[in-house]
Amino acid sequence: MRACIALALFWATSFSAFAADALRPALLLTARAAAQDLSGPWTWSKDLYRTGFTDINGWPAKPRMQRFRDVDVAGAEAQGGVGFFEYDLDRAPAMDIPGAWNSAVPELRYFDGLMWFQRRFDAPTRPGRRSFLRFEAVNYRTTVFLNGREVGKHEGGFTPFVVEVTQAVRETGNRLVVGVDSKHDAQTIPAEITDWDLYGGITRPVKFFQTPATFIDDATLRLTDAGRIVGSLQLNGPQPGNQPVSLRIAALGVTLQARTDANGEARFDTAAPAALKRWSPESPTLYDVELEAGGDKVRDRVGFRTIAVRGSDILLNGKPVNLRGISIHEEEIGPNPARRIDEAAARRLLGEVKNGLHGNYVRLSHYPHNETMLRVADELGLLVWSEIPVYWSIDWDTPAVLDKARRMQAETIYRDRNRAALILWSIGNETPVGEARTRFHTALAETVRALDPSRLVSAALLVERQGDVIHIADPLLPQLDVIAVNTYAGWYGDDTLDTVRRLRWDVPADKPLLFSEFGADAFAGFRDEKLRPKFSEDYQADYYRATLAMAAKVPTLRGLSPWVLKDFRSPRREHPVYQNGWNRKGLISETGQRKLAFDVLAEHYRAQAK
């Protein structure tokens, strides 16, 4: 009884601003240049039975198994004696980081468990400086050790975290050991089953930072609907309060001075200069912004735009906008992707959207993508939907799982809230309607609005069907600014494409609607102009024509992000001829070969863009 009351109380208490602040990551290092990028070869040692942490019966690991210890194993062995080790990360094989282990080493293709990584590095430092390590993303659970000392832990495969190592770091020969456990279960986010590949490991860069004792940890800036530039800056350090700080946007002749409050936060607010060019896909103007405090400086490139809804319209800079998009997974083009998205890989993917498809929008699914994708979208002029992996079913009832989702959402918002391209926060994908689920999502929507009231909230919903009428009657609708649905009539199920053309949509009239997904598999190069069977390029092109014709009749439809730009790896797709571990709904193949349907969508968007 007491537990039920606690649980009801837990759910009942709406999400306050105070609680939102508590979600702020302790350290962010936003927009700061790193002292060292630790990308390159890291040695690795797999640990299927997690002996590096615990021995049999759950006892603490034996020293000879503890991969994180600051020991020169070869040196110790050279001393002789009775002691011995059953690992040695100094002489272990290496793989390139960032990148998933599943693609790096054939024997690790389906390895799912604990892996140890080591990187040695020097860190020349000046007195009074602080040292940090920032991990852009590690899939899934991470424990970080420096020189034998545990310095941090994190859970979640797609968001950054920072650990302070000032006390642990030394000038030379640092031993950075990272334990990465890729295992997912009922209480992880996402849960165990998804439609994308495992990609375990250190999938984004790890960087070493040095700062003054008091430094600028975070800053944000945006344009309000009232035409004002507002922002804030957060200092971290022993003397955060009453510090003079400044913000400069040289190209606009804007220089603002402010003072931090007792918590080290300063706020900026000024009328936007008449000369300000607003950011939009057609003219993605970015401004160099410089922030200074006590000799510490950070720089960022920021675009200024407003986003809102009015009835069934999405308003960008006050004008209705139609989202010409596509969904994308974080997977680079190539026969053996490792979820390694560097700038060139991001430009290649987003270039296909902007220049190939004539698109102005991307749905980065189903998790926060690499920051590079967001920055390239800012630069190229592509609006962005960002999502946390509350995907299909997760444990809706355990408060700790909601805490994880809220923290993931906060880490994403604090990382990306300066990106003009990002307009939509999605709080989930295809989650089955149910009370606990809707409560969970409602709490997430409140979290998003408390952390970032300047953007729109959405979710990719499932639909209901009665005959040829599709209904959207999800109890979550009141929480959403923009409704989005995934629809696969004509691929899953037995609808013919004629049926697809006939389908009618019964949708709320007062909110914008997006088709967040629709798509059909096609094996690149498989053509049959006569029979046009499923998995052929011909069928996929026909499917797009039929679905676009259906979409054109939906009055509140304000955008599309078909599933999906590129064929991607999925352990759920095992047709030996057409799939072989790939979801083939891409408009381009895994190596970048365009399929017929690519041109169907490109032509549709080119006409809309006129």
My answer on whether omega of the bond before 60 falls inside 30° of 0, hence cis, is: no
The contact mask relative to ligand GCU for 156-195 (x = CB under 6 A, - = no) is ---------------------------------------x
Which CB sits closer to ligand GCU, 142 or 583?
583
Helix then strand count (H, E) for the chain reads: 11, 35
Q: How many Å apart are CA 202 and CA 535, to the nearest integer?
A: 34
DSSP string, 569-603: E-TT---TTTTTTEE---SB-TT-PBPHHHHHHHH
Interhelix angle 537-551/596-609, nearest 10 degrees? 30
Measured from the CB atom, is 415 or 585 closer to ligand GCU? Answer: 585
Tokens of 197: 């590949």
Pairing of strands 40-46, 582-583: unpaired
Closest CA to 406 of 8, 27, 16, 135: 16
Shortest distance, position 584 Cβ to ligand GCU, whole Å: 9
Closest distance between ligand GCU and the C-beta of residue 486, in Å? Answer: 4
Query: Taking Cα atoms as reference points, which of 470, 449, 474, 480 lies closest to residue 461?
Result: 474
Tokens found for residue 322: 């139609």
Q: Minimal distance in Å, beta carbon 208 to ligand GCU?
A: 35
**Contact by Cβ (8 Å): 567, 582:** yes
Determine which residue in the list 486, 536, 540, 561 makes contact with ligand GCU, applying CB under 6 A.
Answer: 486
Tell whether residue 517 is a contact of ligand GCU (CB under 6 A).
yes
Judged by beta carbon, residue 411 or residue 517, the one nearer ligand GCU is: 517
Residue number, 486 or 536, with CB nearest to ligand GCU: 486
The nearer residue to ligand GCU, 204 or 585, going by C-beta atoms, is: 585
Contact characters 104-143, ligand GCU, x per CB under 6 A: ----------------------------------------
Q: How far is the CB of 100 from ligand GCU (least distance, A)?
A: 18
If DSSP states are collapsed to H, E and C, what string results for 323-350? Answer: EEEEEECCCCCCCCCCCCCCHHHHHHHH
Q: CB of residue 563 vs ligand GCU: minimum separation in angstroms?
A: 5
What is the C-alpha to C-alpha distance for residues 570 and 169, in angstroms, rounded to an integer? 40
CB of 373 to ligand GCU, least distance (A): 18
Starting at the edge strand found earlier in the chain, the sheet holding 94-97 runs 94-97, 40-46, 114-121, 174-181, 141-146, 149-155
CB distance 223 to 56 below 8 Å? no
Place of tokens 């797999």: 46
- Of 266 and 390, nearer to ligand GCU (C-beta) is 390
366 or 419, CB closer to ligand GCU? Answer: 366
Cβ-contact 99, 197 below 8 angstroms: no
Q: Nearest approach, Cβ of 593 to ligand GCU (angstroms)?
A: 19
> Sign (positive/negative) of CA torsion 487, 491, 494, 500?
positive
Indicate whether 583 belongs to the interface with ligand GCU (CB under 6 A): yes
CB of 140 to ligand GCU, least distance (A): 18
Residue 589's contacts (CB-CB under 8 Å, 6 or more residues apart) are 524, 566, 567, 595
- For ligand GCU, the binding residue among 585, 587, 590, 600 (CB under 6 A) is 585
Q: How far is the CB of 456 from ligand GCU (least distance, A)?
A: 20
337 to 366: interface string for ligand GCU, x by CB under 6 A? -----------------------------x
Beta carbon of residue 521, minimum distance to ligand GCU (angstroms, whole number): 8
Q: How far apart are the first and last CA of the chain?
A: 62
Q: What span, in angstroms and rounded, lies between the C-alpha atoms of 420 and 212?
A: 29
**In the complex, residue closest to ligand GCU by CB:** 195
Pick the closer one to ligand GCU by CB: 324 or 366.
366
Nearest residue (CB) to ligand GCU, 181 versus 517: 517
What x-and-dash track marks residues 410-449 binding ligand GCU by CB under 6 A? -------------------xx-------------------
Binding to ligand GCU (CB under 6 A) within 313-342 occurs at none
Name the residue with tokens 């220089």: 255
C-beta closer to ligand GCU: residue 412 or 486? 486
In terms of CB distance, is 18 or 492 closer to ligand GCU? 492
- Shortest Cβ distance from residue 585 to ligand GCU (Å)? 5
Q: How far is the CB of 429 from ligand GCU (least distance, A)?
A: 5
103: contact with ligand GCU by CB under 6 A: no
The residue type found at 25 is P
DSSP label at 475?
T
Exactly one of 268, 515, 543, 563 binds ligand GCU (CB under 6 A); that residue is 563
Instruction: State the residues that interact with ligand GCU by CB under 6 A.
Output: 195, 366, 429-430, 486, 517, 563, 583, 585
